[in-house]
């Protein structure tokens, strides 16, 4: 997530390099639902058997807040992994964490409770 924050501030190698990387990450902005929910959005998603991961950044159209996050779903049962990756649920979840404050707070609460 730190690298994504540095990219947004154009501090990776140079401003020009940061812009080139950001242009590649912004591929989801071509989607109408993404453009409707975000002023700016960029992401890389990865999925391997039992692991879903992604890093993304976005500025919500609802409140103008910019977030950067790294998400890892590890040790997933194969059936759940297939379901999440086949339906792009991981991507949707990551996007919603940025533009839906209630989901973000609920997720933090669940993580906190499970780490006690």
pTM of the model: 0.82
Q: Per-residue pLDDT tens for 30-88?
A: 999 999 999 999 999 988 888 889 999 999 998 898 999 999 988 888 888 888 888 78
67 CB contacts (<8 Å, ≥6 apart)? Answer: 57, 58, 60, 97, 98
Residue 91 has pLDDT above 70, yes or no: yes
- What is the spatial distance between Cα 60 and Cα 46, in angstroms, rounded to a whole number? 23
């Amino acid at each position: 997530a730190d690298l994504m924050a540095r990219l947004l501030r154009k501090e990776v190698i140079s401003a020009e390099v940061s812009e080139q990387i950001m242009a590649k990450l912004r591929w989801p902005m071509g989607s109408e639902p993404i453009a409707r929910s975000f002023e700016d959005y960029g992401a890389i998603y990865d999925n391997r058997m039992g692991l879903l991961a992604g890093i993304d950044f976005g500025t919500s159209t609802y409140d103008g807040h910019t977030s950067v996050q790294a998400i890892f779903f590890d040790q997933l049962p194969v059936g759940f992994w297939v379901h999440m990756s086949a339906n792009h649920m991981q991507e949707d979840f990551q996007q919603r964490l940025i533009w839906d404050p209630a989901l973000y707070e609920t997720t933090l609460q669940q993580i906190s409770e499970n780490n006690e």
